[in-house]
A and B are shown apart, each in its own frame.
Chain A
Amino acid sequence: MRKAVAVMAAKLAEAAAKTVGRHGSSLPGVVALKICPDILRRFAEEIGEIVVVLGTNGKTTTNNMTADIFEGLGRSAVCNRIGSNLLGGVAAAFIDAASPVGTIKKDVACLEIDEAYAHIVLSYLHPSGIAVTNVFRDQMDRYGEIDTTIEQLRIALEKAPDAKLILNADDPLTASLGVGRKNTVYYGISEDLGAQPGETRDGRYCRLCGTELTYAYRQYGQLGDYRCEGCGFSRPTPQVEGVRVSLGDRASFDVNGTHVDLPCRGIYNVYNALAAFALAESCGVPREAIAAGLGRFRGQVGRMEEFTIGGKTVVFNLAKNPAGMDRSIGNVLADTRTKDVVIGINDNDADGNDVSWLWDAEFEKLNDPTVCGYCVTGIRAKDMAVRLKYCDLAPERIAVFDSVRDAVLKAVRGQGERVYVIVNYTMLLSTEKILRALEEESK
Chain B
Amino acid sequence: MTLTIAHLYPDLLNLYGDIGNVKTIVKRCQWRGIDVCTVPIVGDEKIRFDRIDLAVLGGGSDREQLLVRDKLLARKRELAAYVEDGGAVLAVCGGYQLLGSWYKTKEETIEGLQILDVQTETGDGRLIGNVVIENDAFGTIVGFENHGGRTFINGHTPLGRVLAGCGNNGQDGTEGVIWRNVVATYLHGSLLPKNPRLCDHIIRSMLLRRGVSEELAPLDDTLELEAHRYIEERTLRRK
Binding site for B on A (CB under 8 A): 137, 140-141, 144-147, 201, 204, 210, 353-360, 382-383, 385-387, 389-390, 392, 395, 398
Take A359-B23, A392-B27 as given contacts and tell me if A141 and B17 are in contact as well, using a CB distance cutoff of 8 Å. Answer: no
**Interchain nearest-CB distance for A70 vs B (Å):** 39
Smallest beta-carbon distance B203→chain A, Å:
14
- The answer to whether residues A356 and B224 also contact, given A382-B230, A386-B193, A392-B27 and a CB cut-off of 8 A, is no
Q: How far is the CA of A385 from the CA of B224 in the complex (A)?
A: 8
Hey, which chain A residues are within 8 Å of B213, CB to CB?
Answer: none
> Is the beta-carbon distance between B128 and A141 smaller than 8 angstroms?
yes
User: How many Å from the CB of B13 to the closest CB on chain A?
Assistant: 12
List the B residue with the shortest CB-CB distance to A364: B23
- Please name all residues of chain B whose beta carbon is closer than 8 Å to the beta carbon of A387 when the two chains form the complex: 193
A398 to B15, CA, bound (A): 28
Shortest B202–chain A CB gap in Å is: 15
Please indicate the chain B residues that have their CB under 8 angstroms from the CB of A359 in the complex: 17-20, 23, 190, 193
A140 to B58, CA, bound (A): 15
Question: Contact: B16 with A386, CB < 8 Å?
Answer: no
Cα separation A410 to B226 with both chains bound (whole Å): 21
Contact pattern, B 223-239, Cβ under 8 Å of A = 1, otherwise 0? 11011001100000000
B160: min CB distance to chain A, Å: 18
Report the interface size for chain B: residues with CB under 8 A from the other chain.
34
Q: How far is the CA of A353 from the CA of B190 in the complex (A)?
A: 13
Please name all residues of chain A whose beta carbon is closer than 8 Å to the beta carbon of B189 when the two chains form the complex.
Answer: 355-356
In-complex Cβ contact of B16 among A140, A147, A398 (8 A): A140
B188 close to chain A: CB less than 8 A: yes
Residues of B contacting A140 in the complex (Cβ-Cβ under 8 angstroms): 15-16, 146
Taking a contact as CB atoms under 8 Å apart, the answer to whether A356 and B16 are in contact is yes
Give Cα distance in the complex from A264 to B60, angstroms.
36
Chain B: minimal CB distance from A136 (Å):
13
Q: How far is the CA of A359 from the CA of B24 in the complex (A)?
A: 10
Question: Do residues B24 and A395 form an inter-chain contact, with CB atoms below 8 A?
Answer: no
What CA separation (Å) do A176 and B232 show in the bound complex? 42
Residues of B within 8 A of A389 (CB): 223-224
What residue of chain B has the Cβ atom nearest to residue A357's Cβ? Answer: B17
> Which of A144, A147, A354, A398 lies in contact with B144, CB distance below 8 A?
A354
User: Known contacts A144-B146, A204-B11, A390-B23: does B223 contact A356 (CB below 8 Å)?
Assistant: no
**Is B154 an interface position by the 8 A CB rule?**
no
- Contact partners of A355 in chain B: CB under 8 A: 144, 189
Asked whether B63 is an interface residue with its Cβ less than 8 Å from the other chain, the reply is yes
Indicate if B161 sits at the interface (CB-CB under 8 A). Answer: no
Give bound CA distance, A144 to B62, whole Å.
Answer: 11
CB <8 Å contact, A353 and B194: no
Give complex CA distance A372, B138 in Å.
Answer: 36
Whether the Cβ atoms of A385 and B223 lie closer than 8 Å is yes
A392 to B23, CA, bound (A): 11
Find out whether the CB atom of A354 lies under 8 angstroms from the CB atom of B188. yes
* Bound-complex Cα distance A357 to B190 (A): 8
| Residues of chain B in range 155-203 having any CB-CB distance to chain A below 8 Å | 188-190, 193-194
Given contacts A356-B189, A387-B193, contact A141 B146 (CB under 8 A): yes
Choose among A141, A201, A353 the residue that contacts B14 (Cβ–Cβ < 8 A). A201
Q: Which residues of A contact B61 (CB under 8 A)?
A: 145-147
Q: Is B129 an interface residue (CB 8 A)?
A: yes
State the Cβ distance, A264 to closest chain B Cβ, in Å: 29
Known contacts A147-B61, A353-B129, A360-B17; A390/B146 CB under 8 A: no
Q: Known contacts A141-B146, A359-B190, A392-B27; is A354 also within 8 Å of B16 by CB? A: yes
Given contacts A140-B15, A144-B126, contact A383 B194 (CB under 8 A): yes
Query: Within 8 Å CB of B136, what residues of A?
Result: none
A356 touches B188 (CB 8 A): yes
CB distance from B81 to the nearest CB of A (A): 30
Residues of B within 8 A of A395 (CB): 220, 222-223
Is B205 in contact with chain A by the CB < 8 A criterion?
Answer: no
B193 lies within 8 A of A390 (CB): yes
B130: CB under 8 A from chain A? yes
Interface string of B120-132 (1 = CB under 8 A from A): 0000001011100
User: Do B224 and A386 touch across chains, with their CB atoms under 8 A apart?
Assistant: yes
Of all chain B residues, the one with the shortest Cβ separation from A145 is: B61
Interface positions, chain B 1-36, Cβ under 8 Å from A, are 11, 14-20, 23-24, 27
